[in-house]
Amino acid sequence: MSAEPRLALPWRVLVVATAAVLVWLSLDALLGSDYDRTTHAVGAVLTSAVVVPLVVVARRVLDRRPWAGLGLPSLRAGWRHLLFGMACWLVPAAVGFALCLGLGWVEISVRTSVGDVLRVAALLVVLVFLKEALPEEVVFRGYLQHHLATRLPAWQAVVGQAVLFTGFGFLIGAARSVDRLALFLVFALLVGAFRAATGDVWAGIGLHVAFQTVAQLFGEVGAVFDVVGADVLGVVAIGAVPFSVSWLVLRHRYRDHLNWNAIAPEPVPQSG
């Protein structure tokens, strides 16, 4: 006989969203506010090591349904979407950087050697994947958006998870200003649209990795560049241009396949 979920869907969404906030707050308290590369690495490993199993447990215990419904197939199956998401952000971002530099809005100088820049960039790709991209996409675009999409039209599920993600950013202290709240909301809407269009979270992970890695590399986390006009760079080359173009590319590529009013099916409950 098929087992029914232990809790009604709204309660499962609330439980997992609350657990995500508590995990991030606990890890921040454990690791402290002072930044160094070792702390960043430890935090990245711990975040994925705690959050991904948390979602696995929620899926098995609260939902009693197969993992497949959450949109995280193996990398072997999802690598094309991963690269698609990265390219959707990186290509227009490169154009944005060229625009800012060419028009004299921004000046960028290297603090260290090119080899050191490449090493830091490679390290940040791994750390961003483990600390932000994988855990946040699995929770918000995987678990939460999927559950909303089984009851609401696709566009409402995208908006719903974006509101939850923005609230998450506020509660953990990552989005307390108006501009940061707007960034969290717009970013979540974009990666939520990628989740709805592609059917899995790999494209969102790719876009997330590209965006966060570049933002950190040219900020104080990377600490390898001096940037004059950092605010303009952030708004134009890291935000407006790649976000807008990514949305246009997504709409064009999936225009014949995505029904924004569709409701997603939920896999059959597990027996037991």
Rounded Cα distance, 96 and 114, in Å: 21
- The amino acid sitting at 271 is S
Of 82, 42, 38, 116, give the one whose Cα is nearest residue 200.
82
- Distance between CA atoms of 6 and 63, rounded to whole angstroms? 7
pLDDT in tens, 161-207: 999 999 999 999 999 999 999 999 999 999 999 999 999 999 999 99
Query: What is the residue-wise DSSP string for 143-210?
Result: IIHHHHHTTS-HHHHHHHHHHHHHHHHHHTTS--SHHHHHHHHHHHHHHHHHHHHHSSSHHHHHHHHH
Residues 187 and 158: beta-carbon distance below 8 Å: no
- pLDDT tier at 6 (50, 70, 90 boundaries)? low
Alpha helices in 199-239 (DSSP H): 202-217, 230-232
CB 169 within 8 A of CB 180: yes
CA-based R_g, the chain, Å? 19
Higher-confidence residue of 7 and 100: namely 100
Residues 128-167: pLDDT tens digits? 999 999 999 999 999 999 999 999 999 999 999 999 999 9
Task: Express each pLDDT in 37-87 by its tens digit.
Answer: 999 999 999 999 999 999 999 999 999 888 888 989 999 999 999 999 999
Residue range 250-269: average pLDDT?
Answer: 85
- Average pLDDT over the chain, rounded to an integer: 94
Eight-class DSSP state of 35: -
Burial of 104 (0-12, 13-18, 19+ CB in 10 A): exposed
pLDDT for the residue numbered 69: 81
Nearest-CA neighbor of 51 among 174, 144, 162, 180? 144
Rounded to the nearest 10 degrees, the angle between the axes of helix 154-171 and helix 178-198 is 140
Q: How far apart are CA 260 and CA 151, in angstroms?
A: 13
Q: Does 125 have pLDDT greater than 80?
A: yes
Give the pLDDT confidence score for residue 204 in this predicted structure: 98
pLDDT of 236 reads 97
pLDDT bracket for residue 1 (50, 70, 90): very low
Q: What is the pLDDT of residue 3?
A: 64
Confidence of residue 253 (pLDDT cuts 50, 70, 90): very high
Total-model pTM: 0.95
**Residue 44 phi, psi dihedral angles, 5° rounding:** -65, -50
Please state, for a pLDDT cut of 90, what percent of the chain lies above it: 86
